């Protein structure tokens, strides 16, 4: 059996390597020549994914995995096609299907009868059936469920721990017909292993969701829930500030009851998933009010943070140097997708302040290339704000900001002991500055 994985990014490449580790022949296809070249040398094209370098090198050495830019040729040789091409979104999370449409067209040109095509990219509900399946069937003239099998199975993994997550979480599958669903289930059962989990309503493994629409919706339910939950946590934190109460122990106490699972409040919601996919959900359920409210509140948090910092100064932040700690959307990941840094910079500059940024994963030149002014520990600044929870920020001291008056801890990482004369401001602590 030969499997083609189209899209060798942070999700697709580890998945391809996982399939290859089961002894299956895998061809990875990507349009980026440099990515393909590095992979064929056994070198991951991006850092930070646990075990990827080791597992990739082994797959290359075993001859079970190779990468190519020739997608149609790879498709022609394959029994299974897994599509992990990203859907690009604009600043308002409107999807642009150009890249995944192009991949689907390449598939249509070369696919052989009897092949499974499974999409893993997160999609608005109905996209697999109404967009991609229609493109393929129109081009090939094949009969779904007989000549060709089309399914959807959302990726559910977390960058940095993908191999562990592939084992930890059920693989959700739904096809455009029963035969496609069955074929996809059989495929994933052959290439994935699963941890035992006593907390699930049924054994961990490949779960049949019946239809591609159900599988698409499952991923959007997960991510929309998280966005709404974070929005609720932020609402609680803002109210706690008004009351002079620390929300941290309250959330911990509430979550000691098994029916409560309140997330952690924070200065921003970033990344490819949580800010974006609730809007995919809304694209087919425009009257849904809860996601809209949560999105609006979460998107307001950077501005609210800077407003609170502004009020902490007797004369505002005009002409003051504010250091933003963290360009990445979250700690430990070198990725700026929908990062809160952009809205924080905008909020600072709208109040005539001067925004500078620091991130341990980015060089000064990389920061300059992103349009930011770099900041280094020990330099003068009037205030700092933690945007991303990089581990290095757990050890911040007053000497890192020798002239700062305030540090706004947007991720609730710090205590005030090491900050000396610097006033620590945290979201939801009840401290009114």
- Using one digit for the tens of pLDDT, what is the confidence trace for 331-359? 988 899 999 999 999 999 999 999 999 99
Give the contacts of 341 (CB within 8 A, at least 6 positions apart). 268, 324, 326, 327, 357, 372, 387, 388
Biggest distance spanned by C-alpha atoms of the chain: 73
SS3 of 147, please? coil
Q: Quick one: pLDDT at residue 431?
A: 62
Q: Quick one: pLDDT at residue 204?
A: 98
User: What are the chain's domains?
Assistant: 2-204 (3.40.50.720), 213-433 (3.40.50.720)
Q: Quick one: pLDDT at residue 333?
A: 87
- Tell me the per-residue pLDDT of 255-272, one tens digit each, with 9 for 90 and over: 999 999 999 999 999 998
Q: Are 60 and 98 in contact (CB under 8 A)?
A: no
- Tell me the per-residue pLDDT of 313-337, one tens digit each, with 9 for 90 and over: 999 999 999 999 999 999 988 899 9
Q: Quick one: pLDDT at residue 89?
A: 83
Cα angle 172, 176, 178 (rounded to 5 degrees) comes to 80
* 433 pLDDT higher than 50: no
- Tell me the per-residue pLDDT of 382-428, one tens digit each, with 9 for 90 and over: 999 999 999 999 999 999 999 999 999 999 999 888 899 999 999 99
Q: Quick one: pLDDT at residue 90?
A: 81
Q: Which long-range contacts (CB under 8 A, 24 or more apart) does 190-199 make?
A: 190/1, 190/22, 190/24, 191/3, 191/18, 191/19, 191/22, 191/24, 192/18, 192/166, 192/167, 193/166, 193/167, 194/167, 194/168, 194/170, 195/167, 195/168, 197/168
């Amino acid at each position: 059996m030969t499997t083609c994985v189209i899209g060798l990014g942070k999700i697709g490449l580890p998945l391809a390597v996982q399939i290859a580790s089961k002894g299956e022949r895998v061809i990875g296809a990507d349009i980026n020549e440099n990515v393909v070249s590095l992979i064929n040398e056994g070198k991951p094209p991006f850092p930070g994914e646990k075990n990827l370098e080791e597992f990739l090198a082994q797959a290359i050495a075993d001859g079970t995995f190779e990468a190519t830019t020739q997608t149609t040729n790879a498709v022609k040789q394959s029994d299974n096609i897994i599509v992990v091409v990203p859907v690009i979104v604009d600043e308002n999370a409107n999807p642009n299907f150009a890249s995944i449409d192009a991949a689907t067209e390449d598939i249509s040109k070369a696919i052989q009868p009897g092949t499974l095509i499974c999409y893993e990219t997160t999609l608005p509900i109905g996209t697999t059936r109404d967009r991609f399946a229609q493109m393929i069937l129109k081009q090939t003239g094949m009969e779904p469920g007989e000549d060709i099998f089309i399914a959807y199975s959302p990726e559910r993994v977390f960058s940095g721990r993908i191999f562990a997550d592939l084992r930890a979480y059920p693989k959700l599958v739904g096809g455009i017909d029963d035969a496609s669903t069955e074929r996809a289930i059989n495929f994933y059962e052959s290439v994935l292993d699963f941890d035992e989990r006593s907390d699930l309503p049924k054994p961990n493994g490949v779960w049949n969701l019946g239809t591609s629409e159900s599988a698409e919706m499952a991923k959007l339910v997960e991510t929309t829930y998280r966005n709404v939950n974070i929005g609720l946590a932020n609402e609680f934190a803002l109210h706690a500030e008004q009351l002079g109460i620390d929300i941290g122990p309250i959330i911990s106490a509430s979550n000691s009851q098994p029916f409560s699972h309140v997330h952690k409040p924070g200065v921003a919601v970033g990344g490819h998933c949580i800010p974006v996919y609730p809007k995919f959900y809304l694209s087919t359920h425009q009257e849904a009010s809860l996601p809209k409210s949560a999105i609006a509140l979460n998107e307001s948090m950077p501005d609210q943070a800077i407003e609170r910092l502004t009020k902490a100064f007797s004369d505002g932040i005009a002409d003051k140097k504010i250091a933003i700690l963290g360009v990445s959307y979250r700690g430990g990941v070198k990725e700026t997708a929908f990062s809160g840094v952009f809205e924080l910079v905008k909020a600072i500059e709208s109040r005539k302040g001067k925004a500078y940024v620091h991130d341990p994963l980015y060089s000064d030149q990389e920061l300059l290339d992103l349009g930011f002014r770099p900041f280094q520990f020990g330099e003068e600044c009037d205030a700092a704000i933690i945007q991303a929870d990089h581990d290095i920020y757990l050890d911040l001291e007053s000497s890192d900001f020798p002239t700062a008056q305030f540090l706004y801890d947007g991720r609730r990482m710090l205590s005030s002991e090491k900050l000396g004369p610097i006033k620590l401001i945290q979201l939801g602590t009840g401290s009114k500055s």
